[in-house]
Chain A
Amino acid sequence: MSNIFISMIGFEERGLGFFKETWDFKVDDYILFVNQEFETDERVVNFREAIKRELHQAKRIQFLRASYYDPFEIVRSFNQYVFNNKLDVKASKFFWDISNFNRQNLLVLMWLLRRKYSVESLDIFYTIPEKYNPEISKGAKGFSTTPFFGRSFSKKKEKLLVLLVGYEIDRPLYLFKVIEPSKVILVVGEEPTDESFLDANKRALKEINESIHGTELRKVPADDPHKAGEILGTIFRENVHDYNIITSPLNTKLQTVGLYLACEKNPNVRVVYSFPDKFSGWLSKGIKDVKRFKL
């Protein structure tokens, strides 16, 4: 049985938050994913060096390739790792820092751990930065369904789009345009992490509501995946009889974990994604707090 740590090398300093704390467990293996599209980005290169320094005493560190656009890349890398190391995944304990993961890879890897490998011990870590950039990304392009989520749709039901929205506007609007649902539920975070964040969220919500009429609004906690999962699960259960449900996580990563938990219990819910046109220069700054959740 091994203790395995998972993280992603990204742009954000908060990816180091986990290492600044003292934990009640020791890690044997470090798996560090890096999205191939950003591999040569200076910030990613610097981050990689910084994490190497943090882990200079670690026994085993493995850098694995993922892809921002192709969710199957993380599947391939992880499976190869498991095979090459003859890892007993189910019996291993996983400690996963999701702070730097993009949502699609987060969902797919979580599906892999919990559904394919039936991992029983999974602790999630999430670092809250000092400051978020409310203009994290701009624009929207492309449409993709997240693999392994949502089997077949009923041919008789109406379409319900459950959009977990934050401060992005183009991506939810793009999905609305492509999917043409008869009903839309906007899910927003109920506890803001900082005021500027809240203003950006309000602006986004206003603009989305101006473009999509008659939406229903629901609130879920921004930083509690279990509660978020429960509420989303309730939304899905309330509607699954009448609707084909399509959802998209465009808000916090902890809510995305909550979405995963809700989807696990509602396997017919389809998760879709649209990609931003471009990221802004920085995503977040500093490290404020590290949160831990047992799944």
Chain B
Amino acid sequence: MSIDTQKKFEAKIRENAFQHFYPDQQLSPKNLVLLFVKEYTEYNALTSFTHTFVFGSRGSGKTMLFKFLEPECQAMKCGSMEAFFNQPDSFIGVYIGYNTGDYTKTEFCKLLSDKEVPLDFSKKIIMHYFIMDIADWTINTVLEQLNERIISIKEEEVVSKIISALDRRKVYDGVLKSKLDLKALKSLIEKERNKVLSSIEDYENSYGIPGNRLNYTGNFTDPSCQKGGFLHTFFGELRNLLGVADIPFFLLFDEVTKIEGVETLIEFHQQIINTFISQRVQNLVCVKVSACCESYNADVDINGRAIEEIHDYYVINLDSLYTNNKENYYQRIKKIANRRLEIAQWKVSDIEKFLLENPTEVQKMNEAIEYTAEEYDALPEDLKIESKQNYINKYARARFFQKYLKKTEFGYTGFDNLVHFSSGITRTFLDVCFYMVNEYKQKFPNISAEDIKFIPFEIQKNAVESYSNSFIDTEILKPIRRRVTGSEERTLLEELFNLIDAIGQAFKIRLDNENSRYPRIISFSIKETLREPRLERVLQKALRECFFHKKWYRGKSGYEMLECFILNKRLCPRYKLDLSGFQGRIELSQEHLLLALNDPKKFISWFQTREKTGEKEEEQLLLFDM
């Protein structure tokens, strides 16, 4: 990275410690290592020699995690490249930015659907392009990050072998005269990619001309990593060139997420990736794939063979990390924030002091704790079915909302609340802090960023509140207004809004219900397994846009796994819900959820009646630890 770019990075982060950087585009390895927090992540699971899927919402840190696995970052982490490669579990991470590539070109989509070209042939040619691109990313990594490890006396021999394995159709026989080194190989791979693009482009821009044929003169490769296949030679010989015979390549496919309009093409790419997985060649090539939740749907390889979790791959769900282990997420965010304050060289170094909780709220919370303790003491002995501390843990926050906060007040200041608010998405936490700092700077223009001691409560409260509301405004309400009445998209958005609004209000009714045994619920489950298509569509959209997170739990029978939908905590301030806990779930029938989609008012009225008549037994099953 140039001095200018480094200076730009330093200036930006000093100006606002919570500045967002795209890790794949804007961070040098040095800065990435500076910002990355390895602790409290699934780093260890990710670096095991197992094919792995990493699912997570946008902003949950997938790219950062993948970029950190690149050799330069690993070398910095270990002190030197030598030290990294001397570790027993070292690997060569090759970052493959799926959304920065050329994979979604319309020309490829058209070819896949072109009935004039046999589908097998279209797939072969697109697959070759994909494989050549993987080879290109790999050579880039070797040339830029592992250049010093290249054993130059082996280079010509290694490159010759790779070219022999690639050039099965003898396209380059007698053509390659220059010195055979990695740069020559890179340029040959570029030629192969161009051959694919040119042949498709020439064919497609001649549509309609009689006799028009797809005239491809390059080679073919496939994802086979078995002996005799191109990739086996390619990766094997590169290891030889680097003097690391036993170290596997980690292919880090980042954000292989489906996009409307090019889904078919992306699904085919997903099948190619699955083919790596189905081969179980982790000692040579280990695949790590990241995607947004619910958008990696291919479950077979290019030969139609199914790939299976546990047998073939391991899954890391970044979104559910939060729901499963809040403590890890909390600690990680704390480290990330403190590290940023340190890099920015601000005077404040502790994020908990920077984002102080409003002392009035703290005092009210203490009063709520005292009140709850007294409430426990007053219970008849036979109703004291749990310890006093458990009782306080369970009900004090609810009493805080029910009795100690005025209706207009929020209990959302302080670091802890902001961690909960970010709902497992690191970028949300950083973004809210970013806006708080900007807001502060506007309000106090004479104070420079580095001198900010803490963010005033009013600014914290406003930032959280507006970030919560903007989630619904930007993603649902404004798009509704911009869509034609009665159109499919508008109806879907309206139903989504109705569902969220009805559920959000229902949770608030529950929180305000002083007789409820489980007042702090912000999740629901559906009684029936089979779903009405309209409800299914709305729930899918809600998950895709992260209004809800999904979690699986074991049903009463002990065998069946049931879905539970947890409200994104970013929405809690909008509905004045408690951010800190989400014990249990409300069980709803499809019929009632459909009522929520159609008529939220009627749903709320039904729910109020239900609350008055008491909760059902199944709601009281505990899902999560406090």
Task: Pick the contact of B483: A116, A179, A277 (CB < 8 A).
Answer: A277
A75 on interface, CB distance cutoff 8 Å: yes
Given contacts A139-B482, A141-B260, A211-B474, contact A80 B201 (CB under 8 A): no
The segment from B96-104, B386-394, B404-412 that touches chain A is B96-104
When distances are taken between beta carbons in the complex, the residues of chain A under 8 Å from B483 are 138-139, 170, 277-278
A180 on interface, CB distance cutoff 8 Å: yes
Nearest Cβ on chain A to B315's Cβ, whole angstroms: 24
* Bound-state Cα–Cα, A121 to B102, Å: 33
B117 on interface, CB distance cutoff 8 Å: no
Considering only residues 469-509 of chain B, those with a C-beta below 8 Å from chain A are 474, 478-479, 482-484, 487-490
**B207 to A79, Cβ gap below 8 A?**
yes
Given contacts A148-B201, A155-B100, A180-B99, contact A143 B261 (CB under 8 A): yes
When distances are taken between beta carbons in the complex, the residues of chain B under 8 Å from A179 are 99
B106 on interface, CB distance cutoff 8 Å: yes
When distances are taken between beta carbons in the complex, the residues of chain A under 8 Å from B107 are 145, 147-148
**A83 to B208, Cβ gap below 8 A?**
yes
**B209 to A207, Cβ gap below 8 A?**
no
The residues of B with any CB-CB pair to A shorter than 8 Å are 22, 25-26, 58, 97, 99-102, 104-107, 109-110, 136-137, 140, 193-194, 197, 201, 204-210, 259-262, 474, 478-479, 482-484, 487-490
When distances are taken between beta carbons in the complex, the residues of chain A under 8 Å from B106 are 71, 144-147
* Bound-state Cα–Cα, A144 to B265, Å: 12
Task: Pick the contact of A158: B25, B102, B205, B474 (CB < 8 A).
Answer: B25
When distances are taken between beta carbons in the complex, the residues of chain B under 8 Å from A75 are 204-205, 207-208
**A277 to B489, Cβ gap below 8 A?**
yes
**A158 to B26, Cβ gap below 8 A?**
yes
Task: Pick the contact of A72: B204, B260, B262 (CB < 8 A).
Answer: B204
Task: Pick the contact of B100: A76, A159, A210, A277 (CB < 8 A).
Answer: A159
Q: Residue of A at shortest CB range from B58?
A: A180
A282 on interface, CB distance cutoff 8 Å: no
Nearest Cβ on chain A to B98's Cβ, whole angstroms: 12
A244 on interface, CB distance cutoff 8 Å: yes
Q: How many A-B residue pairs have CB under 8 A?
A: 120
**B204 to A145, Cβ gap below 8 A?**
no
Nearest Cβ on chain B to A63's Cβ, whole angstroms: 15
A46 on interface, CB distance cutoff 8 Å: no
Q: Residue of B at shortest CB range from A108?
A: B205
**A68-92, CB under 8 A of B: which get 1 and which 0?**
0011100111111111000000000
A152 on interface, CB distance cutoff 8 Å: yes
When distances are taken between beta carbons in the complex, the residues of chain A under 8 Å from B58 are 180
How many A residues, CB 8 Å from partner? 48
Considering only residues 152-210 of chain A, those with a C-beta below 8 Å from chain B are 152-153, 155-159, 169-170, 178-180, 182, 207, 210
* Bound-state Cα–Cα, A211 to B106, Å: 27
When distances are taken between beta carbons in the complex, the residues of chain A under 8 Å from B259 are 143, 178
Chain B CB within 10 Å — which of A81, A153, A280 has the most? A153
Q: Residue of A at shortest CB range from B105?
A: A145
A119 on interface, CB distance cutoff 8 Å: no
Task: Pick the contact of B489: A141, A145, A207 (CB < 8 A).
Answer: A141
Task: Pick the contact of B482: A70, A153, A157, A169 (CB < 8 A).
Answer: A169
When distances are taken between beta carbons in the complex, the residues of chain A under 8 Å from B26 are 158, 182
25 pairs, CB–CB < 8 Å, chain A vs chain B:
A72-B110, A72-B207, A75-B207, A76-B207, A76-B208, A77-B208, A80-B209, A82-B209, A83-B208, A111-B205, A141-B261, A143-B261, A144-B262, A148-B107, A148-B201, A152-B193, A159-B100, A170-B479, A170-B483, A182-B22, A244-B100, A277-B484, A277-B487, A278-B483, A278-B489
When distances are taken between beta carbons in the complex, the residues of chain A under 8 Å from B484 are 138-139, 277-278, 280
When distances are taken between beta carbons in the complex, the residues of chain B under 8 Å from A112 are 205
Q: Residue of A at shortest CB range from B110?
A: A72
When distances are taken between beta carbons in the complex, the residues of chain B under 8 Å from A180 are 22, 58, 99
Task: Pick the contact of B136: A82, A155, A244 (CB < 8 A).
Answer: A155
Considering only residues 261-282 of chain A, those with a C-beta below 8 Å from chain B are 274-275, 277-278, 280
Given contacts A148-B205, A155-B136, contact A83 B110 (CB under 8 A): no
Given contacts A139-B489, A142-B260, A147-B107, contact A153 B205 (CB under 8 A): no
Nearest Cβ on chain B to A212's Cβ, whole angstroms: 11
**B197 to A152, Cβ gap below 8 A?**
yes
The residues of A with any CB-CB pair to B shorter than 8 Å are 70-72, 75-83, 111-112, 116, 138-139, 141-148, 151-153, 155-159, 169-170, 178-180, 182, 207, 210-211, 244, 274-275, 277-278, 280
**B22 to A143, Cβ gap below 8 A?**
no
Chain A CB within 10 Å — which of B58, B193, B483 has the most? B483
When distances are taken between beta carbons in the complex, the residues of chain A under 8 Å from B479 are 139, 170
**B205 to A155, Cβ gap below 8 A?**
no
**B260 to A139, Cβ gap below 8 A?**
no
* Bound-state Cα–Cα, A157 to B24, Å: 9
**B97 to A79, Cβ gap below 8 A?**
no
Q: Residue of A at shortest CB range from B5?
A: A242
When distances are taken between beta carbons in the complex, the residues of chain A under 8 Å from B100 are 153, 155, 159, 244
When distances are taken between beta carbons in the complex, the residues of chain B under 8 Å from A182 are 22, 25-26
When distances are taken between beta carbons in the complex, the residues of chain A under 8 Å from B210 are 83
**B490 to A139, Cβ gap below 8 A?**
yes
When distances are taken between beta carbons in the complex, the residues of chain A under 8 Å from B22 are 158, 180, 182
When distances are taken between beta carbons in the complex, the residues of chain B under 8 Å from A207 are 478
When distances are taken between beta carbons in the complex, the residues of chain B under 8 Å from A170 are 479, 482-483
* Bound-state Cα–Cα, A234 to B606, Å: 62
Nearest Cβ on chain A to B611's Cβ, whole angstroms: 37
Task: Pick the contact of B104: A82, A116, A145 (CB < 8 A).
Answer: A145
**A155 to B110, Cβ gap below 8 A?**
no
**B482 to A159, Cβ gap below 8 A?**
no
When distances are taken between beta carbons in the complex, the residues of chain A under 8 Å from B262 are 143-144
Task: Pick the contact of A152: B25, B102, B110, B260 (CB < 8 A).
Answer: B102
* Bound-state Cα–Cα, A115 to B22, Å: 36
* Bound-state Cα–Cα, A170 to B107, Å: 25
* Bound-state Cα–Cα, A79 to B474, Å: 44
Chain B CB within 10 Å — which of A144, A155, A182, A275 has the most? A155
Chain B CB within 10 Å — which of A70, A151, A153, A211 has the most? A151
Q: Residue of A at shortest CB range from B474?
A: A211
Q: Residue of B at shortest CB range from A78?
A: B208
Q: Residue of B at shortest CB range from A155?
A: B140
* Bound-state Cα–Cα, A21 to B261, Å: 41
Q: Residue of A at shortest CB range from B261?
A: A142
* Bound-state Cα–Cα, A131 to B322, Å: 54
* Bound-state Cα–Cα, A182 to B9, Å: 13
Given contacts A155-B136, A158-B25, A277-B487, contact A79 B206 (CB under 8 A): yes
* Bound-state Cα–Cα, A78 to B97, Å: 37
**B197 to A151, Cβ gap below 8 A?**
yes
